[in-house]
């Protein structure tokens, strides 16, 4: 586990003491998350602490050392993700009878939060993959579950979630990709935009129109990569999330067997939204991990950088700023964990709470990372320092899985529905 691997690295570097290396940029040791009041293991059960420990160790050893390279070279780290899947991270909240780990939403949030400190972009993709695996597990029939879930849980096959189209983002229910029934196949025509993993993944969970207009006409189909009529657009150039490829997914008379439909016709939108509730908690958890790492990086930088004859940590302004960052971090963490609890218990406020958590946490954590970058001064702007990657990677969390504006719509609707 992390300790022996890290020790082995330190010993091979020569007889340097562990504390000597104050290398700011990529100190895997920092990622262990040691800072009393913002310790993410406070209040967890023993078992959850064990899960978290494995995730932190995996992030520090297998992801953090490669985070920058994956970003700069735009590498999709399938091997690292398969290693994660061997530990059970491929289908965290999927049923064990099809290869999942059967954990709760709260356990999942804790795990993604810890993994995210190693690489936000990769963890976010793993969470999308998990969401797809769960959708098939929950809404699929036994044949579909047994056909797809085991490979997805081991990450032998990777999945993508296809809802957004060039013409329908926030207005998801207005999607146009059509699926016309012909014998025992649906013929798909249309295109999806901004699909994470698109082109490099094997299983596509596609929301398409089998019926009339609006949400009730949408169904959910599982499309495999080798299907005729399925093609992909160019790989998009993004400012972050570079360790996962993003492409348009194009359907041209693409024939998909009716047996690949999850649930009944017209249930697709419902399935998509239910998947997104958990997805929103997962994305918020990824933001949390990045913010946590950023706070630790900022704190350590303040203790080292000297100006005006003393370390920055002596400046009251910066102390106050750090305190605000820590407070926002803990508040965000509580929101996400509460939302996760609500979802796993099936409480009536679950949907609104997940939306509130996503809205609040993605915004706050971005502001935390932004502030952390500012504290680094000019160095924060250099790609040699990790803080900028955290910032770039979590910026998109305020946009996808439902923009933060759509989150407000959901919350307002929940409040006004009673009157």
Partner 1 sequence: MSARVLVGVKRVIDYAVKIRVKPDHTGVVTDGVKHSMNPFCEIAVEEAVKLKEKKLVKEVVAVSCGPQQAQGKEIDLQIISNKRMTVGFILQETIRTALAMGADRGIHVEVSGKDYETLGPLQVSKILAALAKKEEANLIILGKQAIDDDCNQTGQMTAALLDWPQGTFASEVTMDRDMLKVVREIDGGLETIKIKMPAVLTADLRLNTPRYATLPNIMKAKKKKITTVKPGDLGVDVSSRLEVLNVEEPPQRLAGVKVETVDDLVGKLKEAGKI
Q: What is the distance between the alpha carbons of residues 275 and 266, in angstroms, rounded to a whole number?
A: 16
We find the least distance from the C-beta atom of residue 106 to partner 1, in angstroms, to be 6
Q: Does 51 bind partner 1 (CB under 8 A)?
A: yes
Cα–Cα distance measured from residue 363 to residue 370, given in angstroms and rounded to the nearest whole number: 11
78 contributes a contact to partner 1 by CB under 8 A: no
Nearest CB to partner 1, comparing residues 199 and 289: 289
Tokens of 292: 């946590």
**Angle formed by the axes of helices 387-395 and 120-139, nearest 10°:** 40
Give the interface segment with partner 1, choosing from 31-39, 184-192, 250-258, 350-358 (CB under 8 A).
31-39
Query: Any contact of residue 44 with partner 1 (CB under 8 A)?
Result: yes
54 binds partner 1 (CB under 8 A): yes
Binding of residue 214 to partner 1 (CB under 8 A): no
Contacts of 237 (CB under 8 A, 6+ apart): none
Residue 104 in the binding site for partner 1 (CB under 8 A): yes
Per CB under 8 A, the list member of 40, 67, 76, 101 interacting with partner 1 is 101
Question: Quick one: which of 13, 16, 25, 42 contacts partner 1 (CB under 8 A)?
Answer: 42
Residue 89 binding partner 1, by CB under 8 A = yes
Helices (H), 120-230: 120-139, 142-153
Closer residue to partner 1 (CB): 6 or 411: 6
What distance lies between CA 15 and its chain's CA centroid?
A: 39
CA–CA separation, 149 vs 160, rounded Å?
13
Contact between 43 and partner 1 per CB under 8 A: yes
Q: Taken in order 227, 233, 235, 237, is the CA torsion positive or negative?
A: negative
Q: Among 50, 74, 401, 418, which one carries the catalytic annotation?
A: 401
Chain-centroid distance, C-alpha 390: 13
CA atoms of 238 and 236, how far apart (whole Å)? 6
Please tell me whether residue 95 binds partner 1 under the rule CB under 8 A: no
Q: Is 401 a catalytic residue?
A: yes
Pairing of strands 203-209, 185-196: unpaired
Distance CA 305, CA 320 (A): 17
Q: How many CB atoms lie within 10 A of CB 410?
A: 18
By the rule CB under 8 A, 241 interacts with partner 1: no
Q: Which is nearer to partner 1, 36 or 415 (CB)?
A: 36
Site size toward partner 1 (CB under 8 A) is 46
Using CB under 8 A, which residues numbered 171 to 200 contact partner 1? none
**Closest approach of Cβ 410 to partner 1, in Å?**
23
Task: Please identify, among the stretches 87-95, 284-292, 318-326, 355-363, the one whose residues bind partner 1 according to the rule CB under 8 A.
Answer: 87-95
Candidate residues 117, 122, 344, 398; the one interacting with partner 1 per rule CB under 8 A? 344
Q: Which residue has the tokens 């006004």?
A: 416
SS3 177: coil
Question: DSSP code of 61?
Answer: I
Name the site residues for partner 1 (rule: CB under 8 A). Answer: 1, 3-8, 11, 18-19, 29-30, 32, 34, 36, 39, 42-51, 53-54, 57-58, 86-89, 92, 96, 101-104, 106, 334, 337-338, 341, 344
Residues acting as catalytic residues: 401
């Amino acid at each position: 586990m992390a300790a022996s691997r890290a020790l082995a690295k330190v010993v091979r570097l020569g007889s340097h003491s562990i504390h000597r290396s104050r290398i700011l940029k990529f100190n895997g040791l920092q990622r262990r998350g040691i800072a009393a009041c913002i310790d993410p293991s406070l209040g967890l059960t023993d078992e959850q602490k064990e899960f978290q420990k494995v995730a932190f160790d995996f992030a520090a050893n297998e992801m953090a050392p490669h985070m920058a390279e994956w970003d700069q070279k735009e590498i999709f780290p399938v091997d690292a993700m398969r290693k994660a899947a061997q530990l059970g991270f491929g289908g965290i909240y999927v049923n064990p009878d099809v290869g999942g780990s059967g954990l709760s939403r709260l356990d999942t949030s804790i795990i993604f939060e810890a993994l995210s400190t190693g690489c936000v972009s990769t963890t976010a993709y793993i969470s999308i993959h998990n969401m797809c695996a769960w959708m098939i597990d929950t809404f699929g029939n036994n044949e579909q579950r047994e056909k797809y879930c085991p490979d997805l849980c081991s990450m032998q096959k990777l999945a993508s979630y296809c809802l957004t189209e060039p013409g329908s983002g926030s207005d998801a229910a207005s999607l146009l990709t059509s699926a016309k029934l012909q014998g025992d196949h649906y013929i798909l025509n249309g295109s999806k935009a901004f699909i994470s993993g698109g082109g490099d993944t094997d299983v596509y969970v596609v929301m398409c129109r089998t019926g009339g207009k609006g949400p009730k006409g949408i169904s959910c189909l599982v499309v495999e990569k080798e299907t005729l009529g399925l093609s992909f657009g160019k790989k998009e150039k993004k400012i972050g999330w570079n360790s996962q490829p993003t492409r348009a997914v194009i359907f041209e008379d693409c024939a998909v067997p009716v047996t690949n439909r999850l649930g009944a016709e017209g249930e697709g939108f419902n399935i998509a939204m239910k998947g997104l509730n958990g997805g929103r908690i997962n994305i918020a958890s990824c933001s949390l991990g990045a913010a946590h790492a950023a706070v630790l990086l900022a704190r350590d930088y303040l203790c080292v950088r000297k100006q005006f004859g003393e370390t920055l940590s002596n400046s009251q302004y910066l102390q106050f700023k750090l305190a605000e960052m820590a407070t926002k971090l803990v508040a965000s963490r509580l929101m996400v964990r509460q939302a996760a609890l609500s979802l796993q218990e099936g409480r009536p406020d679950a949907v609104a709470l997940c939306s509130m958590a996503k809205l609040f946490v993605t915004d706050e954590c971005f502001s935390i990372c932004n502030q952390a970058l500012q504290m680094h001064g000019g160095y924060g702007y250099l790609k040699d320092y990790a803080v900028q990657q955290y910032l770039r990677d979590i910026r998109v969390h305020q946009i996808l899985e439902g923009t933060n504006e759509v989150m407000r719509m959901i919350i307002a609707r929940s409040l006004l529905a009673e009157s």
